[in-house]
């Protein structure tokens, strides 16, 4: 009996050991499988993440032929968008076009865009003032909505937006040295601290706060919003002359880095870095300013079809080689109205036209010659005789022998002919807003 118990004990001992070994092998097997699976999955995940990063990197490195950016200035105090501008950078030609939009601009959405946007804001009408967009959208959706509106108007996808408050705008302007600017009219306004600030008419260096104050006024300008936006284009043409004329690409990168810290935007500084070399190569001759196509009755009505054509034409241009003259910038003024069949206001109808004294008008002087300082000498002479000369510029589109006197209406400029022998007077429909007369000097006008 004892021997039988020993045999059974040995059997159960061997069975128990075998069972334990089997269990341990199973545990080790399952554990090894999980460890191998975990290691494998981690490796796969790492490879997937690396692939995603590579994809993202490739996306960033995929350069665009055209970069279109909408710029907005948000007036927090009045809950309106005060200033609009569209920037078009053609990376192939390196042309830099800016299209200003009047603060009282009214737009009408296409039916398709209206249906899409109405689903996002049921209060949005199909036709509205751009400045009123904050009434229809919360702040987190406002700039995307504004960008969709302008994309519909110009018929091109606007990829980025840059939004400022007036304080931000002043700060970004102050990133560069002060610009010498010919303030068109004396004015007074309250700065961001509520302190009364005065600007005198004439050439002077302006801080960012003064620029914002100058561009925030409308009623002080004789031609109201038309002249304000012409002043805006004139100022930023001079400002960007400094931006795109920096000593090194590193200083330009620093400017952009500081600039992007001041604003709200959906564009990263890393994206800007891709194009840094091209931005650095932009010459001021390639920076042009326009006003969006439309017509003024009381308010400015944007003509979407003409705006689409305007932008399409800009995109088809070759590289600009000559500086844009202020007189060549598009005007915000409506086309001349019809006076009778086949005639437009300003054309010679054969009737006597009353002469207008040029001393009451705003005059600019352009120098088409290579004679240094000629325009400034004529400015001094004419101002001494009582004329108001608002600007002097270089004109390189043509080189004239005799002076050309461009006027906005017939009857103007006649009293200037006594100063310029053989001068030709021409009524120009594309005169810049705020200027009545432009004198383009020729080689016979040396003094």
Mean pLDDT of 53-71: 69
Q: pLDDT (tens digit, 9 = 90+) per residue, 142-179?
A: 999 999 999 999 999 999 999 999 899 999 999 999 99
The pLDDT tens digits for 375-430 are 999 999 999 998 988 888 888 777 888 999 999 888 899 999 999 988 989 998 77
Query: pLDDT at residue 39 above 60?
Result: no
Domain boundaries, the chain: 66-328, 353-445
CATH class assigned to 353-445 = alpha beta
Q: What are phi and psi of 190, to 5 degrees?
A: -95, 130
Taking only the tens place, the pLDDT of each residue in 256-308 is 999 999 999 999 999 999 999 999 999 888 899 989 988 888 889 999 999 99
Top-ranked range on mean pLDDT: pick from 300-304, 326-330, 372-376: 300-304
- The proportion of the chain whose per-residue pLDDT surpasses 90, expressed as a percent, equals 43
d(CA 429, CA 420) in angstroms, rounded, equals 23
Pull the structure tokens for residue 1.
């009996």
Residue 444, pLDDT > 60, answer yes
**What is the spatial distance between Cα 60 and Cα 123, in angstroms, rounded to a whole number?**
37
For the cut 90, the answer to whether the pLDDT of residue 12 exceeds it is no
Same fold, 66-328 and 353-445: no
Q: Look at domain 66-328 and name its CATH class.
A: alpha beta
Beta strand residue intervals within 168-246, DSSP E: 179-183, 187-190, 196-199, 202-206
Q: Which residues of 386-418 are buried (b: 16+ CB within 10 A; e: fewer)?
A: ebbbbbbbebeeeebebbbbbbbbbebbbebee
């Amino acid at each position: 009996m004892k021997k039988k118990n020993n045999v059974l004990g040995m059997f159960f001992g061997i069975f128990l050991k075998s069972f334990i070994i089997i269990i341990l092998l199973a545990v080790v097997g399952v554990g090894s499988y999980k460890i191998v699976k975990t290691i494998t999955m981690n490796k796969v995940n790492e490879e997937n993440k690396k692939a995603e990063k590579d994809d993202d990197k490739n996306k960033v490195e995929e350069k665009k032929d055209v970069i279109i950016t909408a710029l907005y200035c948000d007036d927090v105090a009045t809950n309106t968008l005060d200033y609009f501008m569209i920037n078009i950078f053609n990376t192939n030609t390196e042309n830099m076009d800016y299209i200003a939009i009047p603060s009282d601009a009214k737009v009408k959405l296409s039916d398709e865009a209206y249906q899409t946007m109405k689903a996002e804001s049921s209060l949005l009408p199909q036709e509205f003032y751009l400045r009123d967009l904050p009434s229809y959208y919360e702040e987190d959706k406002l700039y995307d909505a504004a960008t969709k509106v302008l994309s519909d108007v110009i018929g091109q996808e606007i990829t980025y937006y840059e939004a400022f408050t007036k304080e931000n705008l002043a700060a970004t302007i102050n990133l560069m040295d002060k610009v010498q600017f010919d303030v068109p009219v004396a004015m007074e306004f309250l700065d961001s601290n509520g302190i009364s600030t005065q600007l005198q008419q004439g050439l002077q260096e302006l801080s960012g706060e003064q620029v914002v104050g100058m561009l925030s006024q409308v009623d002080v300008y004789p031609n109201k919003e038309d002249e304000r936006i012409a002043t805006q284009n004139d100022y930023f043409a001079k400002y960007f002359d400094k931006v795109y004329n920096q000593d090194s690409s590193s200083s330009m990168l620093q400017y952009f880095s500081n600039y992007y810290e001041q604003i709200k935007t959906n564009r990263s500084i890393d994206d800007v870095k891709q194009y840094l070399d091209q931005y650095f190569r932009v010459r001021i001759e390639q920076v042009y300013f326009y006003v969006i196509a439309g017509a003024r009755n009381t308010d400015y009505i944007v003509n979407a079809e003409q705006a689409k054509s305007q932008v399409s034409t800009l995109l088809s241009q070759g590289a600009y080689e000559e500086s844009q003259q202020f007189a060549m910038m598009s005007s915000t003024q409506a086309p001349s109205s019809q006076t009778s069949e086949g005639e437009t206001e300003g054309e010679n109808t054969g009737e006597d036209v009353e002469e207008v004294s040029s001393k009451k008008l705003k005059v600019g002087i352009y120098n088409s010659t290579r004679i240094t300082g000629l325009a400034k000498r004529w400015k001094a002479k004419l101002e001494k005789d009582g004329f108001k000369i608002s600007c002097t510029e270089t004109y390189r589109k043509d080189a004239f022998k005799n002076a050309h006197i461009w006027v906005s209406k017939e009857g103007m400029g006649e009293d200037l002919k006594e100063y310029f022998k053989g001068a030709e007077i021409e009524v120009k429909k594309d005169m810049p807003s705020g200027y009545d007369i432009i004198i383009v000097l020729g080689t016979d006008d040396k003094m």
